[in-house]
Structures are given as C-alpha cells and as structure tokens.
Amino acid sequence: MIKAAKIKEVVMQRLFRKKEQLNVGVDIGATFIKAVAIDKSKTPPELTAFSYEPLTKDTTASVKKAITKLGISNISVNTSISGPSVIVRIVEMPGMSERELKSAVKFEAERYIPYKLDEVITDFVKLEELTGGKISVLLVAAKKSVINNRIELLSGAGLTLRAIDIDSFAIMNAFLNSQKESKDITCALIDIGAKITNINIVSGEQSYLTRDIQIAGDDITVAIAEKLNLKKNKAETLKVNPVEQKNERAPIIKDAFYNLLNEIRLSFDFYENRYGKNVQKIYVSGGSSRLEGISDFIKDILSGDIVFWDPFNNINMSPKIDTAALEPIKASFAVAVGLGLRES
C-alpha cells in the first residue's frame, strides 16, 4: 500500500530540484504529447499553458513544438515513463533495517524483473509494518536504456530534466488533487491511451495495485483495419467518427475492447481476492475513454460505477487558456497534470 506522500519519493532519477513555482509536466504518449505549465504558487494551482501535439517520426521536433506552444523558455520539466520497461510491485519481506533492505531488495527485484539487474535502475520505499514482523515494500525498476533515451530526447529538444516519474503515479497524483470528497472507497483508475492502458487501484491515499497493459485504442484501430480491409488512417477515422459504417464497426470494436476489459478484470480479481474488497468506482481517462459506447462495454465486463473524471478539476484556468480547445481533450491530460502538480 503506497501512501501518496511516499509515492512522491519514488523517483528513479533525482537530477536537481529548483524551487520553481511554475511546474511543467510533459507526457510523451505513443500518439500525442501532452504538456502543461501549472503555477503552484496559486491556491488552487493555476493552469497557465497547455499543448497537445501529435508525435511524429521526428520525436525531438515534436517535443520542441509542444514546448514552444507553451510559450515558456528555459524550462526544466517533469516527465514519466510506463509500459513493459517499468515494473512496480508491492511485496512482503521480512522486517529489517533500511541498510539491509537496500541489498535485499536487489535480490527480491530479480524475481520480478525479466531483465538483467545491471540493465535496470531499482528503487524502493518501505511502506508499512505488517503482522508477523513482516514489512511491505514498494519496488520500482526501470530499464536504464529507456530512462537514458528519455533524457537524451529531452536534452535534444533543449530541455532540462527535473524528475522522471511513472505514468500511473502521475495519474494518481492528478486524481487525488481532483477529488474533494471522501476518497475512502476503492477506486480503479483506468487510463486508456493508444498503446498502453494504465491501471491503478486506490483506496484513500493508498495504491494497492498498479499495472500497465499493452492493449489500448490502437488495437481497436488495427482490428477495424483488418476486419474491414482498410488502411489504418481510414480505420482510425471510422473509430472516432461514429457516423460512418456504424453497424460494421460496432461488433469489431466490442471484440477488441473486450480483450482489454478482460485483462482489467484479472487485475480487479487479484485485488479483490487479496484484499477482500470490491472495486466500487471506475475512474476512466485517456484519449480512448472518448470511444463511443464505452460505458456499455465496460458495464458488460466490470462492475462498479463508471466516472469520466476531469484531471483539471480543482485547477484554475488562467484567462490565457483556450478552454474551448482544451475541453474535448481533457481526458488525455491525466498524466501531464499529475506531473505538473508534482512536489519536486
């Protein structure tokens, strides 16, 4: 179980932390770069700029463009990574000192990481004392090559890296900020992007399970393209535009989306068996949460109330913000907002 404050400690690279009030979060997704600048000296924090930029083959140029659109110079940014190169596990270990834990964690990590230990950076946070003298520990491991690529990409775009986080922790950060009422129920945060779906099961300010599934919106596009014998860009248009070929597209989307939902169901089952509690609310975000009919698909496979939450809830909009442009794409900004709200 991860306390929110502890999550903030889990940073694999702590380069440097300036006491800057303007926090810049940059989420480099598989299809779109989402960037925000948030002024944390204001209460509530204020969104001063955002950008939403397609990721082209020239990734560096796309990042530069996204940052230029923020209209800020000389910036250091928070970013995050996710997917198969990042592993997060909550494990039980025998009680021991912090020093002993440091070396024990390396061996423990070996059991969970499908890479050689010298290929990864590991970090851990001791979470709590359990009965029987055991402790629970949050283990994080990330491939060095992925971290290095990200550092190179940002420096190639003229940026300084402030901190690297993990997508699901950033989503949780944005989620906790967006909720004012009691959070003491079990919520599943599900961010469905293009290539990856991030799952996070939280209760109060604690996370009980995080998992990245490599099935998302792109798999629906590919299924439409294959079944209807279309080029991918035509299939993408058909996916996001429910007016065309509605009857043909519906069963294909349903099948592809069920694959994802069944994977999510396995995570819910794991949580429910381990902790004896049910997921009560499902908070959906990510660009693919805009899929027409998504609520009905989810209801077929998962139980729990479905909420399409706004990552910008409890954040003021500066008068400079084009709110009409932001409105339809808000759901894609959970990671970027969480990064922009980081304490660092």
The residue ranges that bind Mg ion (CB under 5 A) are 29, 193
Q: Which of residues 265-324 bind ligand ATP (CB under 6 A)?
A: 286-288, 290-291
Residue with smaller CB distance to ligand ATP, 46 or 219: 219
Q: Using the rule CB under 6 A, is 218 a contact of ligand ATP?
A: yes
Interface map 222-241 toward ligand ATP (x if CB under 6 A): --------------x--xx-
Residue 207 contacts ligand ATP per CB under 6 A: no
SS3 assignment for 222-236? HHHHHHCCCCHHHHH
Sketch the per residue contact string, 130 through 169, with ligand ATP: x for CB under 6 A, - otherwise.
Answer: ----------------------------------------
Nearest in space to 184 (alpha carbons), one of 252, 273, 297, 280: 280
- 245 binding ligand ATP? (CB under 6 A): no
Distance of alpha carbon 154 from alpha carbon 148, whole angstroms: 10
Secondary structure, 3-state, 201-222: EEECCEEEEEEEECCCHHHHHH
Give me 133's structure tokens: 């003298």
Judged by beta carbon, residue 139 or residue 260, the one nearer ligand ATP is 260
The listed partner (Mg ion, ligand ATP, none) that binds 53, CB under 5 to 8 Å by sort, is none
- The span from the CA of 170 to the CA of 344, in Å, is 13
Q: Please give the size of the binding site for ligand ATP, defined by CB under 6 A.
A: 20
Q: Tell me the CB-side half-sphere exposure of residue 6, using CA atoms within 13 A.
A: 18
Residue 291 contacts which entry, ligand ATP, Mg ion, none (Cβ below 5-8 A, type-dependent): ligand ATP
Q: Which does 239 bind (CB under 5 to 8 A by kind): Mg ion, ligand ATP, none?
A: ligand ATP
String of DSSP letters for 41-82: TSSS-EEEEEEEEE--S-HHHHHHHHHHHHT--S-EEEEEE-
Cβ atoms 311, 178 nearer than 8 A: yes
Toward ligand ATP, which CB reaches closer, 193 or 304?
193
- What is the smallest separation between the CB atom of 232 and ligand ATP, expressed in angstroms? 10
The structure tokens 């400690």 sit at: 9
193 touching ligand ATP, by CB under 6 A: yes
Q: Which of the listed partners (Mg ion, ligand ATP, none) does 290 bind, with a CB threshold of 5 to 8 Å by partner kind? A: ligand ATP
Region from 25-33, 65-73, 121-129, 157-165 binding ligand ATP, contact rule CB under 6 A = 25-33
Give the count of alpha carbons within 13 A of 289, CB side only: 23
**How many other C-beta atoms lie within 10 A of the C-beta of residue 310?**
17
Query: How far apart, in Å, are the Cα atoms of 188 and each of 165, 173, 213?
Result: 20, 14, 14
> What tokens appear for 83 in the block?
């997917």
The reply to whether 253 sits near ligand ATP by the rule CB under 6 A is no
Mark 78-97 with x for binding to ligand ATP (rule: CB under 6 A) and - for no binding: --------------------
Please select the residue that binds ligand ATP; options are 8, 13, 22, 31, rule is CB under 6 A. 31
Binding site for ligand ATP (CB under 6 A): 29-32, 193-196, 216-218, 236, 239-240, 286-288, 290-291, 332
